[in-house]
Chain A
Amino acid sequence: MSRVRFDVERGKVDRSSADLEINPFDLNALEAAVRIKEELGGQVFVLSMGPRRTESALKDTLARGADRAFLLEDRKFAGADTLATSYTIASTIKQLGNFDLILCGEKTVDGDTGQVGPEVAEHLNIPHIACAYEVNVTHENATATCDIGMERCSFKAPLPVLITVTKDMNTPRLPTFRDRARARQMAVQVMGAAVLSEHADAARFGVQGSPTKVYKVIVPSDEGRKGRIFRQSSDEVVSEVAERICHLVSPNDRAGDIS
């Protein structure tokens, strides 16, 4: 995250110098999935799309309780926007089989769109619940709680359903030494575009399948306000600022106000 370069000419983000780590919200999704498995049984599959270096992060998900991990890795997937990403992921989900529940982080910390989850649900033609911080699952349905503006809402949907989760969902467990040792014996399955040919149209992958394009990246200039900065906090200074605040927050008709 800390070292990302922008290729302004090609309108692409170069992440090759950035460390690849699991998006924090996705760790909450994984933790939720593992807890549901512990309660109800079943298997947890982890799916990610990215360069080969993603493999070590996926190994980490195996240590944290996932049963199998899959990496979508192909040059044809590169440069994907949220439409192409969600299409590729949804196609892979169809390929891998029938899932009862699909959990993902509400958004990524770098892209910050929050679009991929709902878009995957649409491609799969299943309902979704966004930004849940609490989830209860039975063998038939899922109930998830979210904050929407000033309200707390609980949604109930029959399975299969896709739920995106927030940081407040849980505290992800830390893998023990034994978990890590076990994960080292497990393999991350790498899948390329060819594997998906049965369920997907390759023209919808990567750059080719991405209708949006970043054509310019600007570092915002701090115009500055040229305000008055006081170098000390004497009574006079505080008085002046207090007076200013009172003036700003008082409507002009305040004269008649008895408070």
Chain B
Amino acid sequence: MSDNGELLVFVEQREGVINPVSYELLGKGRELADKKRCVLAAVLLGNGVESHARELIFHGAERVYLFEHPMFNDCDLLNYKHNMVRLVRDVQPDVFLLGATYWGRSLGSRVAAALGTGITADCTGLDVDKHGNLVQIRPAFSGNVLAHIKTRTRPQMATVRYKVMPRAARDTNRKGEIIRKAAEIVPSWLSFVRNKKSADVNLADAEILVSGGSGLKKADDYSLLSKLADVLGAALGSSRPPVDNGWIGREHQVGFSGTTVNPKVYIACGISGSPQHLAGMRSSETIIAVNTDPSAPIFRIADYGIIGDLYEVIPKLINKIKENRYEHG
């Protein structure tokens, strides 16, 4: 088994909370490791995070490399990089995956450059070919095409987009080993201050999303969509045009250059469905679309579509939802 190398997953935590993309990496990693017949390993840097290391085993890791030091409480980029590079040189994994998060992208790029190996950004699909090589699939050119990429150096590195891979199942019967590694601390050039943002928008984890697009006529019309969102307890999303018009903040943008979402219900109001937008929401469980143009691409992926004017449909919809709630509530 071990001669097939390891598939290593970077587990991102901050102040003791694991980033959920890490469990998705373990889910996909388990599947790939079974196919490659290799060991699934995880690396966790933190401070007082041993209980998390056991969780990683329950989620499919056979081996967890654990680095503990107060410097690792936050993602101290240069110290993380330094220790990751040491680990990779030591265990020589065949594949090394990170989440395509803010830190994962920065860290992955630096580790790859330090090792002189290839890295593929923001993958939405991963597979193993018949020789055991990693197949990295990512949207290219605004999501219009999917590029399939292979890497000739080792480790084969990739960052993986949040919310596209299945989360690993938890099984407390799983066994694995926790390998403690000594941290080596280098000068940390960066210091930083954090502030909570006033407007909390968390599209990626929203269960219900109401999104507006170029069918909206002016900035104020978002208030109509807000009403629908309020009735449903939904988050407010947007395609690109309203964001570019400055009608709604960029943090609301769903799509290739915004956030990828997969809510239970996605309600697209006046969104025609550019490939860029569809790339970020097509995996939603149920898609409801309202648009005046019968040929709008959004209708091809919609479960329920109403060809009509959102200014007429949405107020009616709000009333009907309220009525329905009243009857059944």
Q: Which residues of A contact B (CB under 8 A)?
A: 4, 6, 13, 81-83, 86-87, 109-123, 126-131, 146-158, 161, 168, 204, 210-220, 222, 224-225, 227-233, 235, 237-239, 241-246, 248-250, 254, 257-259
Given contacts A122-B110, A122-B114, A213-B149, 19 further A-B contacts (CB under 8 A): A13-B140, A83-B112, A115-B108, A119-B110, A128-B77, A130-B102, A149-B101, A151-B195, A153-B194, A211-B117, A212-B119, A212-B136, A227-B304, A238-B316, A242-B324, A244-B304, A245-B265, A248-B286, A259-B325
Given contacts A156-B192, A211-B118, A217-B148, contact A229 B302 (CB under 8 A): yes
Rounded to whole angstroms, the CA-CA distance of A74 and B198 in the bound complex is 49
Could you tell me the distance in whole angstroms from the C-beta of A101 to the nearest C-beta in chain B?
A: 14
Q: Is the CB of B196 within 8 A of A231?
A: no
Q: Which residues of B contact A (CB under 8 A)?
A: 77-78, 81, 101-103, 105-106, 108-110, 112-114, 116-122, 136, 140-142, 144-153, 189-197, 200, 202, 207-208, 232-233, 250-251, 256-257, 264-265, 267, 285-288, 290, 294, 297, 299-309, 312-313, 316-317, 320-321, 323-325, 328-329
Residues of A within 8 A of B116 (CB): 83, 204
Q: Which of B118, B190, B286, B300 contacts A224 (CB 8 A)?
A: B300
Residues of A within 8 A of B324 (CB): 242-243, 246
Q: Is the CB of A233 within 8 A of B313?
A: yes
Q: Is the CB of B189 within 8 A of A230?
A: no
Q: Is the CB of B232 within 8 A of A212?
A: no
Secondary structure of the B contact surface, majority rule: mixed
Q: Is the CB of A81 within 8 A of B321?
A: no
Given contacts A115-B105, A119-B113, A151-B197, contact A227 B303 (CB under 8 A): yes
Q: Is the CB of A118 within 8 A of B106?
A: yes
Q: Which chain B residue has the least Cβ–Cβ distance from A230?
A: B306
Jot down 10 A-B pairs with beta carbons below 8 A, ordered by A.
Answer: A13-B141, A109-B142, A110-B142, A148-B102, A157-B189, A229-B302, A231-B307, A233-B307, A241-B304, A245-B321
Rounded to whole angstroms, the CA-CA distance of A218 and B108 in the bound complex is 26
Q: Which of B110, B256, B299, B317 contacts A242 (CB 8 A)?
A: B317
